[in-house]
Structure 1
Amino acid sequence: MSRHHLNRRQFAGATAALLAAPALTAHAQAYPSRPIRVVVPYPAGGSTDQLARAIQQPLSELLGQPVVIDNRAGAGGTIGTDIVAKAAPDGYTLVFGNTGPNAVVSLLRKVPYDPVADLAPISTVALTPMILAVPVDSPAKTLKEFLAYAKREGDKLNYGSVGNGSLSHLTGEHFNDKAGLKLLHIPYNGGAPMLTAFASGQLHAAFVTGLDGASMLASGKVRYLAVATPAPTDVVPGLPAIADEVPGFASTAWFGLLGPKGLPADLLAKLNSAVVASVARPEVQKLFTERRIEARSSTPKEMEQRIAGEMKHWGEVIRKAGITT
């Protein structure tokens, strides 16, 4: 009887070990052991794509495996983000996110994922302040002049955005509210058409990132008036802060890496260390500085807190302005 009982126990133990073997092997295998896919939820060549590619090679070198950029554009960045939200939390499918699909879009319409419950922040990569820009032939040469001009003209003046519900749109409405203005919102389907309209004189103002506005600034077609950081910043030197004249106004976009919720703690730590080291590379710092972008890494917790703070802030702006998409 005891021999029979012993055999059953041995059999059960052997079976359990056999079933656990693949999991144990996978756990013991060093991560990463194959290429890592980073989904960029926007078209190739855009600002988010450019920043993702800036850290692509450093990440590959530091992690010892190819990092492959996979552009999955559409629906304001939510299509690509949803792919990652539903991926296995094994560290091989990540998303290069930003303020839009990770903090704003879900406040405006239903999306197929929960940006907080379904995604794990890894690290920010860059911050970029929104910049108030006007055509070079605008009668407003300074921020004070623009505020007086806009108050005098009311809704005869407009501002452009890269789309309804975009950060450039929300920033414009936040500016209207805090400055007591009535600038008329003109949405475009993306940055390229908005900048084309701006350059051709169809817009009176726009909030742009340094990356988006660089070509127009270099061509002499626009003038920067002020930056939307709480105080003047070396990221865009020589500009006053809008908050100097409009207390309480601020708007900054972030870009960074996230994975599916449930990433094991050791993988999350390894990915965070790789991003932090990549952002610290001199060539990355130089590239970002040239494009008026602040290289800024973070801990996962800091990134999580940034997203939560933005959802609260922009949620209030959306409700107050009655913005819908």
Structure 2
Amino acid sequence: MNTPVDRMRRGLILSACTAPLVAHASTWPSKPIRLVVPYSAGGSTDQLARAIEKSLTEQLGQPIVIDNKPGAGGAIGTELVARAPADGYTLVFGNSAPSGLVSLLRKVPYNVTADFQPISTVAFVPLALVGSASLPVRDFRDFLAYARAKEKGLNYGSVGTGSMAHLTGEYFNEVSGARMVHVPYTGGGALSLAVASGEVETGWFNPLDATALVASGKARYLAVATAQRFPALPDVPTVAELFPGFESAAWFGVLAPKGTPQDIVMRLNQAIANALKRPDVRKVIEDKMAQPRGTTPQEMAGIMKAELDHWGPIISKNNIQL
């Protein structure tokens, strides 16, 4: 039947079904917001999350509670958020690894595109090529000639198989014609010691991890993987100066479970944008050798897709698996 009475009844039923969601979204937030960091406290991801914590708390009127959930390369904390209610009270401060590329490297119990709603990026951290002081080269051009001429190839270190540093090293081999051999380490500290001692000739680093190493005189920056020169290292050339288009940087940002109401998504996005306008927040991020940069949810989704499209063939060609 489709009488006026029937239509009125259907309308009342529909209103009753949708009212809780509308009411919830309009009153959000009414309690603390949990921001899961899928790594241990004190690491670069944790520090960047804490850089925006105070500003978000002030703007939203509820505490932002940082909850460190390390394990499985970030997958444990990330899965926790993927399975959380899509109500805006459980978010993840993710990055390129667990919230992006991991699905190309091994099976994980979540889908990075189907299970998450991007909110905004917060910062980008470029990769930098660092050479041991024992290398008989002084600049990037000399290094490239030396690497190409080395019959058995140089070694390059990373913070682990499947890391952004590893992928960047294989990407560099592909575009440069170098034949550098990958040597994985268990983290930035171990990699720094290996480069300092000459155990490996080079390494791809988060610049923050390389700062003390370079300052010690035991290594030097050879190049950075930004499109333009990195403001924190203005005298270091980019790889793109010799190989146009070469770029490698890890993003860090906030995601919510898929299905989070759009007005909550946009309120979070605006709060992050406001936080990134604050000089004190920007200074904290820049002191970590990162570039503060927010995006719209759509732009962040595009960055994630482009990342998967770019790194997928490199991972497949080099049979990189975790």
Instruction: Tell me what 1:316 maps to.
Output: 313
Cα-to-partner distance string for 1:43-71 (whole Å, 9 max, x where unaligned): 11111111111111111111111111111
One-letter code aligned to 2:205: V
2:198 is the counterpart of 1:201: yes
2:116 is the counterpart of 1:119: yes
TM-superposed deviation, 1:321: 2.0
Judge conservation of contact 1:41–1:77 (CA < 8 Å) in 2: yes
Judge conservation of contact 1:214–1:291 (CA < 8 Å) in 2: no
Return 257-266 or 144-153, whichever deviates more. 144-153
Give the number of equivalent residue pairs: 314
2:161 is the counterpart of 1:164: yes
Instruction: Tell me what 2:215 maps to.
Output: 218
TM-superposed deviation, 1:114: 0.2
The 5 Å alignment of 1:265-276 reads 265-276=262-273
Q: How far, CA to CA, are the matches of 1:311 and 1:318 in structure 2? A: 10
Instruction: Tell me what 2:184 maps to.
Output: 187
Q: How far, CA to CA, are the matches of 1:293 and 1:21 in structure 2? A: 42
TM-superposed deviation, 1:247: 3.6
TM-superposed deviation, 1:192: 2.8
Q: How far, CA to CA, are the matches of 2:34 and 2:98 in structure 1? A: 18
2:175 is the counterpart of 1:178: yes
Judge conservation of contact 2:208–2:289 (CA < 8 Å) in 1: yes
One-letter code aligned to 1:128: V
1:231 pairs with 225, 228, 238, which one?
Answer: 228
Judge conservation of contact 1:39–1:70 (CA < 8 Å) in 2: yes
TM-score normalized with structure 1 length: 0.90
State the 4+ residue runs in structure 1 displaced beyond 4 angstroms. 19-22
Q: How far, CA to CA, are the matches of 2:311 and 2:122 in structure 1? A: 21
Judge conservation of contact 1:133–1:224 (CA < 8 Å) in 2: yes
Instruction: Tell me what 2:99 maps to.
Output: 102
Q: Is the partner of 1:287 in helix, strand or coil?
A: helix
Q: How far, CA to CA, are the matches of 1:311 and 1:22 in structure 2? A: 38
Judge conservation of contact 2:153–2:178 (CA < 8 Å) in 1: no
2:146 is the counterpart of 1:145: no
Q: How far, CA to CA, are the matches of 1:153 and 1:47 in structure 2? A: 35
Judge conservation of contact 1:232–1:239 (CA < 8 Å) in 2: yes
Judge conservation of contact 2:82–2:116 (CA < 8 Å) in 1: yes
Judge conservation of contact 2:123–2:291 (CA < 8 Å) in 1: yes
Query: Taking every aligned residue pair, what percent have the same amino acid on both sides?
Result: 50
Change (3 A) 1:55 1:109: same
Return 216-225 or 125-134, whichever deviates more. 216-225
TM-superposed deviation, 1:28: 6.7
Q: How far, CA to CA, are the matches of 2:234 and 2:293 in structure 1? A: 17
Instruction: Tell me what 1:3 maps to.
Output: none
Instruction: Tell me what 1:69 maps to.
Output: 66
Instruction: Tell me what 1:300 maps to.
Output: 297
Judge conservation of contact 1:89–1:264 (CA < 8 Å) in 2: yes
Instruction: Tell me what 2:275 maps to.
Output: 278
The structure with the larger Rg is: 1
Cα-to-partner distance string for 1:219-277 (whole Å, 9 max, x where unaligned): 33321111112332324311111122234422111110001000101100110011111
Q: How far, CA to CA, are the matches of 1:158 and 1:66 in structure 2? A: 47
One-letter code aligned to 2:258: K
2:46 is the counterpart of 1:58: no
Q: How far, CA to CA, are the matches of 2:26 and 2:229 in structure 1? A: 48
Judge conservation of contact 1:38–1:67 (CA < 8 Å) in 2: yes
Judge conservation of contact 2:44–2:288 (CA < 8 Å) in 1: no
TM-score normalized with structure 2 length: 0.90
The 5 Å alignment of 1:21-32 reads 23=20, 27=24, 30-32=27-29
Return 26-35 or 144-153, whichever deviates more. 26-35
Cα-to-partner distance string for 1:60-85 (whole Å, 9 max, x where unaligned): 11111111111111111111110011
Q: How far, CA to CA, are the matches of 1:269 and 1:251 in structure 2? A: 28
